[in-house]
Amino acid sequence: MKAILATVASAVLFFFGTGLDPLPELAWLAPLPILLLAPRVHGGIVLASAFTAYLAGSAGSWSYFWHSQSIPRPAALAILVGSAVLFALSAGLFGRLARRGHGFLAALAAPALWTVALYVVSLLNPTGLMGTFMTTQADRPSIVRIAAITGGWGVEFLVLFVPAAVAAALTPGRTRFVPVVALAAIAGGLALWTTPPAPAHSTKVALIAPGQNRWAIDVATRDGQTLVQSYVDQIAKLPDGVKTVVLPEAAFAVDQTSRPSLVAALAEVARARDLDVVTGVLDATPDGRFNAALAVPPSGAPIEYRKWHNGDSPNLRDGTELTRFAGTGLMVCMDVNFADPSRGYGDAGTGLVLIPASDEVADGWAHSRTALIRGVENGFSVAWSAARGTPMLADAQGHVLADARTGGNPFSVVVADVPFGAGKTPYARFGDWFAWLCGLLAAAGIAATARRTSDLESQLVA
């Protein structure tokens, strides 16, 4: 009965606290019923209960994964089932350590195992990583700001560590006070770290995203010319003072013949409004076809950034270079699912990154917040202009300055003054050191479970 109650409670909390539209506070509570159960029942029951709770709790995302255009169904099944297996293993490790009287190690090793496993997935998965515990906290700047030191892995760890520390403290044994002390120390450190930063210089940025699904319209066609003119008209109506406007990913398809006409049309409105225009293009070049961000300034030659990460798209080549102008960088959509190129921009001191994007409606909020976390990690503000998603402007401390949901209107327009970040965060300089630390903690926990069962464990089970 205890196992059933814990499974149902965690499943409900996971359902509402994680996924594509989470209630962030519930994410901290979701693992707690299972972790409270773990030291008090047989290990097999822990594994089964944790697996069932996580899998059932992810039911809100099943339809998205099954019908996703960017995630093949075998990969979708692997994500859903693999995440449930990983949570079960983390809970099993916690229970085994807590039963043996290693409460402090249990509170550290379980979230460490979860975190380092996701880190490995982020290195191996061709579509990167999004939608995990760290994403649930993306609208809580006071929490997310720790990512500037630890990367998003610190947030991922913390959301699971808090319930693990509480559960360890409530487990009978000699070390019940230690996790509470550690939890208080981390809370105090976070309070110090969340001191508001000094004001920075800013620029007014606008995002323009269409209400309908328009992907790579050939500029050479009549439909393409009409679309170009519609964007030009929208730019002409922007408020005074806008210095940069960002359009979505693959708004247009161009080649060597048609590219000059697009550049000419955007350059004309850029000169008239004295602003930079950034748009996503599918650019067919002699070197191959690239998904790119094209920046057209009021004067001078256009600048092109080529997307680094195209998933399993066989017809697109990956770019390899950063592209910066006037302290501003360029990326495209899926690039934010990976550590690079974001870390390269942060290490270079880039204060603002402009990102044409395109989502699948359901994952619009989650993907925009993945971009926000990359900005916090690396010290730059983010301009995320997403079709079929959530266009968003956010500063380098994780505050959402303005956002909107596309659909309903022909165009969604988002405008805000965006401060430049300082770049060069500890994470940008030192990389995924915290994920490696989690690997060491997880290994220590696993090694401790291999020892002979202690007398304390026998007493607790009895």
Share of the chain above pLDDT 90, in %: 77
- State how far the Cα of 115 lies from the Cα of 415, in Å rounded to an integer: 36
CB-CB contact of 133 with 156 (8 Å): yes
3-class SS at 318? Answer: coil
Distances (CA, A) of 106 to 43, 186, 341: 14, 16, 35
pLDDT of 71: 80
Hey, what are 282's tokens?
């599918």
Indicate whether 458 pLDDT > 60: no
Residue type, 362: A
**Residue 447 neighbours by CB under 8 Å, 6+ apart:** none
* Average pLDDT value for the chain: 90
Residue 218 banded pLDDT, cuts 50, 70, 90: very high
pTM for the whole structure: 0.92
- pLDDT tens per residue across span 90-134: 999 999 999 988 888 999 999 999 999 999 999 998 888 988 999
By CB atoms closer than 10 A (0-12, 13-18, 19+), residue 417 is middle
Size of the chain in residues: 462
Torsions phi, psi for 358 (to 5 deg): -150, 130
Mind listing the pLDDT tens digit for each residue in 315-342? 899 999 999 988 899 999 999 999 999 9
Amino acid identity for residue 93 in this structure: L
Give the span between the Cα atoms of 458 and 48, in whole angstroms. 22
Give the Cα-Cα-Cα angle 168, 169, 173 (nearest 5 degrees): 85
H or E element that contains 430:
helix 426-430
What band does 195 get if pLDDT is binned at 50, 70 and 90? Answer: low
Q: Look at residue 213 in the predicted model and tell me its pLDDT.
A: 77
- Ramachandran category for residue 127: left, alpha or beta (phi over 0 → left; psi -120 to 50 → alpha): alpha
Highest mean pLDDT among 162-166, 175-179, 367-371: 367-371
CA separation for the pair 6, 228 (Å, rounded): 56
- What are 43's two structure tokens? 């290990």
Q: Is residue 190 pLDDT above 80, yes or no?
A: no
* Nearest-angstrom CA–CA distance, 157 and 174: 24
Query: Phi/psi of residue 17, each to 5°?
Result: -95, -10
416: which 2 tokens? 């805000």
Q: Is the pLDDT of residue 382 over 90?
A: yes
Q: What is the mean pLDDT of residues 341-361?
A: 95
